[in-house]
Structure 1
Amino acid sequence: MKIKRGILRLYRDEKVWFTADTHFGHKNIIRYCQRPFVDVEEMNCTLIDNWNSVVSPDDLVFHLGDFSVGGAAEWTSLLNKLNGEIILLLGNHDMNNVNQAFMHRFQCVSMQMLISIGKQRIYLNHYPFLCYGGAYRNTWQLFGHVHTSPYRTGLDSSRLDYLFPTQYDVGVDNNNYHPVSFEKVSEIIQQQIKNRKEQDYVRTL
């Protein structure tokens, strides 16, 4: 891996995963998002087990924010348990911890990133954007924050209909409480593009 002109370039020999909105230690998120857990202990254990079931120690994980609502001890404990090298894109629930020593445990901490995996450019931010660089030139955007789910419970749920088909919520609520691989994201976005083209065609009839 190397950094060049502000773009993080990743090589094919690295397995890359994306996730967001784990909200480790956040009791109320179970109710807010109708997560299928009895309590925060079950949620934490399930999220950790799901993470480690797919992510290997040498893999790279982009966490797109709202990692944990706990203090230094909980963050440190979580980072000791989770596989992979983790890059954190800060979410609104992470901002109070930006100056904490445990932040050095992440490979990188940033508000946003533009990365390239092979020939595919991807803009990463905790929040979904209707306007972002490259949106009309096949640059994807991956995001979290809105807790997309079959229940569409979030306050922003009605706005999601306006997103580009090249955007995807990598949060755990939208991905069966697992990190999602680059390969799977690619498959999903290609299907979204196909579906949008079909919808646009039907509208012209």
Structure 2
Amino acid sequence: MDYLASDLHLDHGNIIDYCDRPFDSVEAMNAALVERWNDVVDPGDEVLFGGDLTISSDAADLLGWLEELDGEFAFLLGNHDGTVLEGLDGVDFFEHYQFERDGRRFYAVHDPADAPGSVDGWLLHGHHHNNWPDEFPFVDPEACRVNLSVELLGYRPLSMDDLVTYLDRDERYADRTEADASV
């Protein structure tokens, strides 16, 4: 896995107010999210996407956005993705996803409430955006949990190398800006 991100919510007008996103319109948000994504991710990079790509439940809309975003996706189903999307050709959907990197184990799921009671390693999730920063910050070493919602990542995917660097520091970070400022 090269990059991680969750909860783009493309085409979702209400998310701008709900998460206090810094965009004047849905069109501006969509354009900025795609541009920031493609500034970071190359076409062959592997991306673990934590769910809720678009508010639309139309498979054609989801596929259209995936064509605009660089990378090869492992896609966790989010609460806005709908089960109708499962089985689309060329897209691998998962309820959860496990992998190892640099001696660490990771268990990824869209909503942390859907994770098993005990996870061997770090729990990667989205779903909570930036709405409960005390409970669901970007990095919480005490809970061994990482919130991959784009609001906490500067609205761009996070490289696995950067994540490992943050985890090595064994510190709690509200968002990526805070983590970068602590260097």
Task: Give the TM-score normalised by the residue count of structure 1.
Answer: 0.74
Matched residue SS, 1:121? strand
Aligned residue in 1 for 2:161 = 183
CA distance in 1, matches of 2:129, 2:136: 11
**From 127, 135, 138, the counterpart of 1:159:** 135
**Aligned 8 A contact 2:109 2:124 in 1:** yes
Aligned residue in 1 for 2:26 = 40
CA distance in 2, matches of 1:195, 1:175: 14
In structure 2, relative to structure 1, the CA distance for the partners of 1:194 and 1:177 (3 Å cut) is: closer
**Aligned 8 A contact 1:17 1:179 in 2:** yes
In structure 2, relative to structure 1, the CA distance for the partners of 1:158 and 1:49 (3 Å cut) is: same
Percent sequence identity over aligned pairs:
30
Is 2:103 the counterpart of 1:119? yes
Structure 1 runs (4+) deviating above 6 angstroms are none
Q: CA RMSD in A?
A: 2.2
Aligned residue in 2 for 1:90 = 77
Aligned residue in 1 for 2:176 = none
**From 40, 59, 80, the counterpart of 1:72:** 59
Read off the aligned partner of 1:121 and give its amino acid letter.
R
How many pairs does the alignment contain?
A: 167
In structure 2, relative to structure 1, the CA distance for the partners of 1:122 and 1:73 (3 Å cut) is: same
Aligned residue in 2 for 1:21 = 7
Matched residue SS, 2:112? coil
Read off the aligned partner of 1:53 and give its amino acid letter.
D
Q: CA deviation at 1:146?
A: 0.7
Matched residue SS, 2:11? coil
In structure 2, relative to structure 1, the CA distance for the partners of 1:118 and 1:187 (3 Å cut) is: closer
CA distance in 1, matches of 2:90, 2:28: 25
Aligned residue in 1 for 2:123 = 141
CA distance in 1, matches of 2:103, 2:35: 32
Aligned residue in 2 for 1:169 = 147
Gaps of 5+ in 1: 1-9, 11-15, 149-153, 197-205
CA distance in 2, matches of 1:38, 1:47: 13
Farther-moved stretch of structure 1 (169-178 vs 68-77): 68-77
Task: Give the TM-score normalised by the residue count of structure 2.
Answer: 0.82
Deviations 1:138-183 (A, max 9, x none): x1111101112xxxxx2x445337x544311111100000000001
